[in-house]
Amino acid sequence: MTMQIEAYLEEWSLLPGEIVRMAVSTEHPTVRVRLERVTRGPRDRNTVANHSFGTVVEGVDVTVAGRRQSTAMGSFAELPLRPGAAGRGYSAHLWFLSSVPDWDVNQTILAFATERDSRRIAVGVCGSKLYVSLDSTVEKLNLSIDAHVWYSLVINVEEIATKTRVTVDVSQADTLPSRALRNVEAADFDAAYRPAALLTLAAMACDDIGSAIDGFNGKIDSPRYFSRPLATPEREMIHRAGDAAPKADLAWVIGEHFSSQDIREEAGRVPPGRIINGAERGVTGRNWTGESDSFHEVPEQYSAIYFHSDEMVDANWDYNLEFKLPEDSVSGVYNVVLSAGGFEDRYPLFVRGKPEAKADVLFLIPTNTYLAYGNDHFAGADLTSVLGHDMLVSEDERYLNQHPEFGLSCYDVHADGSPVRYSSRRRPLVNVRPHYPNFLTGTFRHLAVDLFFVEWLERTGHSYHVATDEDLHLSGSELLSKYKVVITGSHPEYWTSQALSTLDAYLREGGRMMYLGGNGFYWVTTHDPARPWIIEVRRDNAGLRAWNAPPGERTHAHTGEPGGLWRYRGRGPNKICGVAFAMEGWSKAQGYKRTSESYGAKAGYFFKGIGEDLIGNFGYILGGAAGDECDRFDLSLGSPPQTIILASATGFGVEYQIVNEDMLIPMPHQDGTTRPDRVRSDMVFVPIHGGGGVFSASSIAFVGAIAWNEFENNIAKLVNNVLDAFISRDSLLD
């Protein structure tokens, strides 16, 4: 049964006693709302939404009216003008680059809203030709536009008798020209002239819910406004960017404050303009020379904004559900359970421990990973060559593909082919629900897998709290210092600089970590300082990735730091957990063969009560403890020399391939059958001077093995031994 109730939380990490606010959309007239504390994980991919994941919390049982909510999509910007400043005409100038001018839809480059009657005068591109319009009247121009080429554009609006004349003067600004560099055309409209009050970039206007109308796809650079029509020689000087070019009455500065959604007018003559629905800053402009790829060094070469008609960083729904978390709520993972018309769905909520509450363990929920993959569209790609099972696409995944308004993941590209560099939790995240199946593994991935470990914690009775990646980023050492042991989820791939520094300091000061996943600590990630529900990922051009960074655009707009792999920032995962991403594939997972060190005095206590030499040759994820994405020990990449390899998994199939960054030249036979020396998973222990230590499982599939046979197995026993030692031992090398 496909989704019938769509929802998202304003904040998905809260303290006991705080207010839960949720935006809910449904065709059902009413929705029943309950709260469930998760004590159980899923079991097989046929687990349905109404499978119970735990115990219902007393005191939370409310009903809300159902209604359908619409999503705001398409990025644009609004720049206020000075009312009454223009006499009988005005002009604007900007540079633009259209990524898909051949689309047969109107894409507005800029639009004026007139005073009093708010009529819209616009210039845009459709079918590779420019057009001008006044409200619904559109005049096609014989001015051709090529994709990914910069143009200088001047638009004059002036009164001609009882009509309004719009003159478009466009000049190609870069590349070897394919036609005449400059062209001019005009169109007359049967409408009285009105001065302009507002300049909109990348949209004709917005509708009632905030979506862009006739949204533009491409870049816009350095908009300027003139309170009079510009003469032909003046327009020519503007195209040339000559010193004699006329001075603008208003000019907006884009090459600064790259994390901001405001656009400052250079002299403060009008209030700042505003970016709406998330457009990208920190992108190369029309004058980028390639001599630097950092906007810190040449901010004037980054004076552009990239707009997308399918951008969405906040669904902008009304929060029509509120309830208070009970004051005595125990820290853990909860589900908000929504029921209507016989249908039931669940959305995760993470409840932190109160500041005064005590626990030995912090389970760090990898929410940055959930966001990076949030609403990914992998199911549309042919990945059968790396699968060892039939590719089964769930109904929910098909539903996601039918609803582009839910937005994209950092593994997708926009409709114009450019990379998606932002992901938001303020939208329905179809694949961040406890029962969501994953076609790569044939069972589960991410949140659903992490709930296996929540169940293990509940069964073993260890005292624990939960927190999210975002919590760690915002709270730092104040969060980690309360706990003896920090345990990661199955795929902690996306880390901010602040979180990495906090974790490093925690371990150096005697803290202990159990890294129970694979491909961790991999991509540089940042949070928007003003909107922390948004993450940014700029992948650069190394590592296993879904897209390449455009030239000159690896620097994060949020923080101004270089993007890409932490490995190439000198802070690779080897240095923090002893291993790093080595290979991926989705055929049969393997068990680990113990090393002699696992029987020795330094680490033998981890294996107390485990007599088997081969462990973890079972599991809910691909049938073994080592699979999906796995890590390898490597001294040359920064693994600490005192690292003890406890066990290794080899014997993987051809579907498992070595990661790109470990190959200088593409070569055949770089798979699990031919390169077991590199396509392997190493389980390690890193003792740290001062009492700290790290246990690394090095596989995404590992947690799925913990749950096997109702948690009665050698992997579950190993994890329990390690955790007991990390909690109770003063020294980890006795």
pLDDT in the model for residue 730 = 87
Determine the Cα–Cα distance for residues 176 and 165; give it in Å rounded to an integer: 32
pLDDT in the model for residue 48 = 58
pLDDT in the model for residue 666 = 86
Hey, is 566 helix, strand or coil?
helix
pLDDT in the model for residue 49 = 54
pLDDT tens-digit map of 389-424? 999 888 999 999 999 999 999 999 999 999 999 999
Determine the Cα–Cα distance for residues 537 and 422; give it in Å rounded to an integer: 6
pLDDT in the model for residue 116 = 74
Determine the Cα–Cα distance for residues 445 and 462; give it in Å rounded to an integer: 24
**DSSP code of 474?**
H
- Is the predicted pLDDT of residue 382 greater than 90, yes or no? no
Average pLDDT taken over every residue of the chain = 95
Q: How far is CA 597 from CA 9, 645, 648, 694, in A?
A: 47, 7, 12, 16
Determine the Cα–Cα distance for residues 679 and 626; give it in Å rounded to an integer: 11
Q: Where are the domains of the chain?
A: 5-71+321-350, 76-307, 363-728
pLDDT, greater one: 677 or 602: 677
pLDDT, greater one: 131 or 45: 131
pLDDT tens-digit map of 450-473? 999 999 999 999 999 999 999 999
Architecture of domain 76-307 in CATH? Sandwich (2.60)
pLDDT in the model for residue 585 = 98
Please, which residues have CB within 8 angstroms of residue 468's CB and are 6 or more apart in sequence?
Answer: 12, 13, 350, 364, 365, 367
- Is the predicted pLDDT of residue 733 greater than 90, yes or no? no
pLDDT in the model for residue 132 = 98
What global pTM score does this model have? Answer: 0.97
pLDDT tens-digit map of 289-346? 999 999 999 999 999 999 999 999 999 999 999 999 999 999 999 999 999 999 999 9
pLDDT in the model for residue 243 = 66
Please, which residues have CB within 8 angstroms of residue 409's CB and are 6 or more apart in sequence?
Answer: 372, 373, 374, 375, 376, 377, 420, 423
pLDDT in the model for residue 98 = 99
Confidence label for 41 from pLDDT (cuts 50, 70 and 90): very high
pLDDT tens-digit map of 70-89? 999 999 999 999 876 657 89
Per-residue pLDDT averaged across 724-728, rounded?
Answer: 97
What strands lie across the sheet with 657-658, from one edge to the other?
Answer: 626-633, 579-590, 657-658
pLDDT tens-digit map of 574-607? 999 999 999 999 999 999 999 999 999 889 999 9
pLDDT tens-digit map of 218-264? 999 999 999 999 999 999 999 988 667 899 999 999 999 999 999 99
156 CB burial (10 A radius; 0-12, 13-18, 19+): buried
Pick the CATH number of 5-71+321-350 from 3.30.1180.20, 3.90.1150.10, 2.60.40.1930, 1.10.260.40: 2.60.40.1930
- Is the predicted pLDDT of residue 725 greater than 90, yes or no? yes
Per-residue pLDDT averaged across 116-123, rounded?
Answer: 88
Please, which residues have CB within 8 angstroms of residue 555's CB and are 6 or more apart in sequence?
Answer: 282, 293, 294, 295, 296, 538, 561, 562, 563
Determine the Cα–Cα distance for residues 141 and 185; give it in Å rounded to an integer: 7
**DSSP code of 10?**
S
698 CB burial (10 A radius; 0-12, 13-18, 19+): buried
pLDDT in the model for residue 192 = 87
Q: List residues bridging with 5 in a β-sheet.
A: 26
Per-residue pLDDT averaged across 208-215, rounded?
Answer: 95
- Is the predicted pLDDT of residue 180 greater than 80, yes or no? no
Per-residue pLDDT averaged across 690-713, rounded?
Answer: 98
Q: What is the dihedral of CA 439, 343, 432, 217, to 10 degrees?
A: 90
Structure tokens belonging to residue 501: 């520094």
pLDDT, greater one: 682 or 184: 682
342 CB burial (10 A radius; 0-12, 13-18, 19+): exposed
Residue 706: its H or E element: helix 702-706
Asked if 722 contacts 627 with a C-beta cutoff of 8 angstroms, the reply is no
CA 383 centroid distance within chain? 22
Confidence label for 43 from pLDDT (cuts 50, 70 and 90): confident
pLDDT tens-digit map of 641-667? 999 999 999 999 999 999 999 999 988
Determine the Cα–Cα distance for residues 276 and 259; give it in Å rounded to an integer: 13
**Amino acid letter for position 463:** S
pLDDT tens-digit map of 10-38? 999 999 999 999 999 999 999 999 999 99
pLDDT in the model for residue 731 = 85
247 CB burial (10 A radius; 0-12, 13-18, 19+): exposed
pLDDT in the model for residue 86 = 59
Query: In 3D, which of 549, 569, 256, 276 has the Cα closest to residue 421?
Result: 549
Confidence label for 173 from pLDDT (cuts 50, 70 and 90): confident
pLDDT in the model for residue 51 = 75
pLDDT, greater one: 413 or 182: 413
Neighbouring C-beta atoms of residue 673, cutoff 10 Å: 14
DSSP string computed for 105-138: S-EEEEEEEETTT--EEEEEEETTEEEEEETTEE
pLDDT tens-digit map of 483-532? 999 999 999 999 999 999 999 999 999 999 999 999 999 999 999 999 99
User: How large a percentage of the chain has pLDDT more than 70?
Assistant: 98
